[in-house]
């Protein structure tokens, strides 16, 4: 019974937000990247939008490295505290046309089809320009990263 509630909550959230979660990394408690000692890469697949990623512990911003503007961002494991809930925030600098975008999160040491998940068809509108959206809750537990959608 205790496992049904998180599954139902995630299912409702997925349906309500029009997001499709890939099966990779999905577990009853959220999306998981396991056995990752180095850190995480975030990739944004957009058309006609400039979006960046920030990560917060309350009001304190974690160090996020911009590898390629509006596309690839990284956070090192050493820049995230254990057993702390972080907020992954999307900042919409500009959205020229309404549509959707995808977000992929991958561990630094990922090989083909491991240590990653992808969220697809995330809606965006031109009214999102200049706004931010709390998107995921992130918790690091040693070498495990758990993500729960807002």
pLDDT tens string 102-148 = 999 999 987 766 799 999 999 999 999 999 999 999 999 999 999 99
CA nearest 103: which of 35, 21, 11, 48? 21
Q: Are the CB atoms for 120 and 76 separated by under 8 Å?
A: no
pLDDT exceeds cutoff 80 at 55? yes
Tell me the pTM: 0.80
Can you give the pLDDT at residue 150?
Answer: 87
Q: Are the CB atoms for 115 and 107 separated by under 8 Å?
A: yes
Q: Are the CB atoms for 93 and 128 separated by under 8 Å?
A: no
Q: What would the two tokens of residue 69 be?
A: 């503007």
* Angle 126-48-18 from CA coordinates, rounded to 5°: 65
Q: What CA–CA distance (Å, rounded) separates 24 from 44?
A: 17
Confidence band, pLDDT 50/70/90 cuts, at residue 50: very high
């Amino acid at each position: 019974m205790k496992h049904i509630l998180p599954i139902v909550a995630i299912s409702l959230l997925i349906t309500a937000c029009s997001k499709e979660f890939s099966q990779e990394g999905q577990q009853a408690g959220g999306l998981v990247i396991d056995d990752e000692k180095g850190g995480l890469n975030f990739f944004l697949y957009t058309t006609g939008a400039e979006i960046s990623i920030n990560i917060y512990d309350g009001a304190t911003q974690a160090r996020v490295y911009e590898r390629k503007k509006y596309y690839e961002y990284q956070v090192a494991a050493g820049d995230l505290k254990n057993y702390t809930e972080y907020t992954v925030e999307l900042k919409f600098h500009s959205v020229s046309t309404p549509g959707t975008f995808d977000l992929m999160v991958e561990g630094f040491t990922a090989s083909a089809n491991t240590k990653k998940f992808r969220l697809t068809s995330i809606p965006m509108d031109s009214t999102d320009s200049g706004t931010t959206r709390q998107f995921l809750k992130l918790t690091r537990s040693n070498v495990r990263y758990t993500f729960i959608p807002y």
